[in-house]
Amino acid sequence: MAKRNTVGPASVGDFGSGPWAAARDLIDAPAGSVNIAHEAVDRHVLSGHGGDRAMLWLGKDGTRRDLSYADLADAAARFAAVLAAHGLTTGDSVFSLTGRVPELYAAALGTLKAGMVFTPLFSAFGPEPIRTRMEIGAANALVTTVPLYKRKIAPWRDQIPSLKLILIVGDEAPEGCVALGPAMAAASPDFETVRTGPEDPALVHFTSGTTGKPKGVVHVHNAVLYHAFSGCEALDLTPGTVYWCTADPGWVTGTSYGIVAPLVNRVMMIVDEAEFDLERWYATVERERVEVWYSAPTAIRMMMRSGAEIADRYDFSSLRFLASVGEPLNPEAVVWSEKVFGRPFHDNWWQTETGGIMIANRPGSTVKPGSMGQAMPGIEAAIVERTDGHLRTLGDGEVGELALRPGWPSMMRAYLHEQARYDKCFLDGWYLSGDLAMRDGDGYFWFVGRADDLIKTSGHLVGPFEVESALIEHDAVAEAGVIGIPDEAAGEIVKAYVTLNPGFTADEALERDIRGHARKRLGPAVAPRAVVFRNTLPKTRSGKIMRRLLKARELGLPEGDISTLESDET
């Protein structure tokens, strides 16, 4: 990728005043220079905290591995030295395609330490999504494993001319690749951190659009300022906190709040290689005395679906704060978690483009079940509507597009090679999120739906989240996805797809009962006219139900980019 990307409306200053002045106390950046890897690990070692636990890694096979801040600093330096030894230089692009293994974290920190740009990919991606992203990002190096390389990379590796180096986790590598284990063992641990500027590119995360290619979202080193600040303010991360973010680093949450924010705030991270397993998760919380737990609504709803009986066998007294992100958290899940864990999950809202939490139910605040919370300190948020090419700010209780005033450190700086697409995100001095929401009189924001998910039926504007929340109040419903389908009389009618909790049988009687429940809760104009049973709903790996995919399949439309699809309807 280019050494520096175009900085558009989100260009920022030094944040020497206002809320960012206090945030600067959380990092150690000299004037004119900042490097995420230094802030995350090196400065802790230099200040005498190298022996503090940084990570507890839990392998699928039961392996446990403790890493201190000194261990991570050493691994990052050696990884950076390996990159340099193979001819990579400042600004080059390093991709990762692994599971949640310690080498992934060494690669992320080492790439940043070397002044290069890190892009994590989900290991579950197929060959074509991987190739597309590596082409867009002009990948210079890739860190992966032997099985992933052979299945997903080898057939086309020679067709990406920018790709100079493939590092294989472990002690052996296929021909034309380098074994990472021996290379790091032989590398110097004294690699000097590259002096990067605040606006130098650091991270690229890919996010899918409804059509066309995935977007490469560029973030800079100065984003660490907001990661440090929001980790403390929104997630209650303090030195020594036992913290578990369940997100994979292939998703922006797993990097921003699964690597950077916790390490900058000197916590002890739990990293579990395995995928979701209810009793494994509960046992981990109990055994490791997890204090702060950050997860996704999909996982929380799966916990709900399993019932409180299993949870009753575990001790959750160590938990002091629970947070959720990825898809709006239904009110029922908030109430349920307070009963089962003794504390509610605190929902928050942000996007790959914002780089950090923008709206949150913060520690100590009153949680309104179903609300995303209030704007973070220093973040100006509003509800707007577009009128004649300009924006009009709406009042409390009105539904419109959620907009943010640009200027926070973790704001994206570009979409790779797509300046026009980037510029369309900004209008009249606001960043437009594409999400519809409402703000109440107390300053709490309530998610309505994506702008393109809004349903217009018989003169009513219906947000799918409202209908989905009502549906999962029914005892039989585990998850719900709602779309609008064309209707000559009403314009559109509401159609729902649901998965069921154990013990319920999909039949006509249950379908009528669920529709009747929705009519009582929502009224006939808003309630779904039809309910379709599915074993699973299509979701992204960050847990968002892909309503556009439901609609495309219903209407026989192009499905667009589905490379982030985690599960499919059956």
The answer for residues whose C-beta is within 8 angstroms of residue 384's C-beta and 6 or more apart is: 391, 392, 393, 394, 400, 401, 403, 430, 432
* 451 or 369: which leads in pLDDT: 369
Q: What is the pLDDT of residues 370-411, one digit of tens each?
A: 999 999 999 999 999 988 889 999 999 998 999 999 989 999
Residue 516 confidence (pLDDT): 93
Pull the structure tokens for residue 253. Answer: 């949450």
What is the pTM assigned to this prediction?
0.83
Pull the structure tokens for residue 340. Answer: 């089962």
- Cα 98 to chain centroid distance, Å, stands at 17
- On the question of pLDDT at 529 being above 70, the answer is yes
Q: What is the pLDDT of residues 103-123, one digit of tens each?
A: 999 999 999 999 999 999 988
- On the question of pLDDT at 153 being above 70, the answer is yes
Q: How confident is the model at residue 489 (pLDDT cuts 50, 70, 90)?
A: low
- On the question of pLDDT at 561 being above 70, the answer is no
Q: What is the pLDDT of residues 261-304, one digit of tens each?
A: 999 999 999 999 999 999 999 999 999 999 999 998 888 988 98
Residue 464 confidence (pLDDT): 80
> Do 119 and 93 touch, CB atoms closer than 8 A?
yes
- On the question of pLDDT at 211 being above 60, the answer is no
The answer for residues whose C-beta is within 8 angstroms of residue 479's C-beta and 6 or more apart is: 298, 301, 472, 498, 499, 537, 545
- On the question of pLDDT at 537 being above 70, the answer is yes
Q: How confident is the model at residue 7 (pLDDT cuts 50, 70, 90)?
A: very low
Highest-scoring range by mean pLDDT, 235-244, 500-509, 517-526:
235-244
Lowest mean pLDDT among 72-81, 134-143, 226-235, 472-481: 472-481
Residue 564 confidence (pLDDT): 56
Pull the structure tokens for residue 47. Answer: 């200040």
Q: How far apart are CA 411 and CA 65, in angstroms?
A: 34
* Amino acid, single-letter form, for residue 545: I
* 130 backbone dihedrals φ, ψ, rounded to 5°: -65, -50
Residue 74 confidence (pLDDT): 98
Give me the mean pLDDT over the 228-247 stretch.
Answer: 96
- Domains in the chain, CATH or no CATH each: 19-379 (3.40.50.12780), 454-567 (3.30.300.30)
The answer for residues whose C-beta is within 8 angstroms of residue 348's C-beta and 6 or more apart is: 234, 323, 324, 325, 357, 359, 360, 361, 372, 373
Residue 10 confidence (pLDDT): 39
Q: How far apart are CA 347 and CA 178, in angstroms?
A: 43
- On the question of pLDDT at 12 being above 50, the answer is no
Pull the structure tokens for residue 187. Answer: 């590398």
- CB-count burial class (<10 Å; 0-12, 13-18, 19+) for 16: exposed
Lowest mean pLDDT among 79-93, 176-190, 498-512: 498-512
Q: How confident is the model at residue 212 (pLDDT cuts 50, 70, 90)?
A: low
* 552 backbone dihedrals φ, ψ, rounded to 5°: -60, -40
